[in-house]
Amino acid sequence: MKKISGVLVIISVFAWMLAASVYAGESVKTRPAIVLAGFGTSYPSALTSILNIQEKVQQAFPGMKVKVAFTSNIIRRIWHKRQGDEKFFSENKNIPGEIVYVKGPLATIADLQDAGYRTIVVQPTHIYAGEEFTDLCAYVRGLNGITTVKKKFMPFVKLVIGRPALGQPGIEHDYHDDMAAVAGALAADVELAAKNKSALVYMGHGNEFFSTGIYAEFQQVMRKMYPGTRIFIGTVEGYPSFDDVAAALAHAGVKKIVLKPMMIVAGDHANNDMAGDDADSWKSRLTQAGIKVQPVLEGLGSNDALAAVYIAHIKDAARDAGIRLVK
């Protein structure tokens, strides 16, 4: 028996050495690449949230190519118009070239494929499965629908997409678990509100074309996880609206709040719709209603714990597809 055990140990060690040698001789371009696809931002100060997610993903997978793509056509055009604007870049230093020349998901995937990367994980940095995520899924399905006469000329070995922060409909990954993970990642926001003896109010984006009821459900998840803090979530588009949040705050007799964007970046919506000085901003309207408002202009992407949620989703998408991620 001892002799057999010794043989098994030798075989195991040999197998490990063989696997290591395969990795050592593996071409960088045969490894999977990752595309982080999110709405984007035109605010230089808000880029830190996007770049933080990219940095944390790169740290999790140091042997892989990690690219950023913006799904918003408008945001990309803004950055492209800035190319060559010396005054802008003298006032906003250290902006990565990847942002200045940022592309959409289709072009980013195409660039990677053209460079030899044929296994790609597209990870959305959207909050929930709304319009932008639905369109992104359509892009991936369309690319996967390409067929060639000879299989060896197929553009991709595998092209897969992860799920947004709050998950998506389906049975493979229960979105309730995703909501619990995100709620856990927001503990510091709750602590800030508690420290200031305030309620916590989030402004999400939402959209006009899909149900935004996930925000109302997530509000309940947050309240159950943090029963000592009053938590309210509204959206710029969809339900719950600002009026829903204002009515709930009035009903609860709230007089002091911490107001944060439930968005990856603190960009235009956060700086103007949420915390702007115009009369129609959330801050102005709530202040007018007699509530003391403390805006926090920080996107969720700056939260390392939230970045870890996306890393977990990348791992899930790769595992489900049988993709070996390089670490």
**pLDDT reading at 48 higher than 70:** yes
Q: How confident is the model at residue 19 (pLDDT cuts 50, 70, 90)?
A: very low
For the chain, strand residue ranges (E) read 33-38, 65-70, 119-124, 158-161, 199-206, 231-237, 256-261, 292-295
Instruction: Find out if CATH 3.40.47.10 is the number for domain 187-300.
Output: no
**pLDDT reading at 13 higher than 90:** no
Q: What is the pLDDT of residue 31?
A: 82
Q: How confident is the model at residue 209 (pLDDT cuts 50, 70, 90)?
A: confident
Instruction: Give the total residue count for the chain.
Output: 327
**pLDDT reading at 9 higher than 50:** no
Decide which of 23 and 170 is more confident. 170
Q: What is the pLDDT of residue 24?
A: 43
Query: Model confidence over 214-261: pLDDT tens digits?
Result: 999 999 999 999 999 999 999 999 999 999 999 999 999 999 999 999
Mean pLDDT for the stretch of residues 51-74: 96
The amino acid at 67: K
Class for the domain spanning 2-169+304-321 = alpha beta
> Where are the chain's structural domains?
2-169+304-321, 187-300
**CA 112 to centroid of chain Cα atoms:** 20
Q: What letter does residue 29 receive in the DSSP assignment?
A: G
CATH topology identical between 2-169+304-321 and 187-300: yes
Q: What is the pLDDT of residue 25?
A: 45
Residues 6 or more apart whose CB falls under 8 angstroms from that of 186 comprise 222, 300, 303, 305, 306
Mean pLDDT value across the chain:
91
Mutual angle of helices 304-321 and 175-185, in 10-degree steps: 150
Mean pLDDT for the stretch of residues 132-161: 96
CB atoms within 10 A of CB 247: 12
pTM: 0.89
Q: What is the pLDDT of residue 285?
A: 98
**pLDDT reading at 304 higher than 50:** yes
Mean pLDDT for the stretch of residues 33-55: 97
Helix (H) or strand (E) holding 179: helix 175-185
Query: Model confidence over 23-41: pLDDT tens digits?
Result: 444 555 668 999 999 999 9
Q: How confident is the model at residue 211 (pLDDT cuts 50, 70, 90)?
A: confident
Q: What is the pLDDT of residue 63?
A: 87
Query: Model confidence over 103-130: pLDDT tens digits?
Result: 999 999 999 999 999 999 999 999 999 9
Query: Model confidence over 280-295: pLDDT tens digits?
Result: 999 999 999 999 999 9
Q: How confident is the model at residue 327 (pLDDT cuts 50, 70, 90)?
A: low
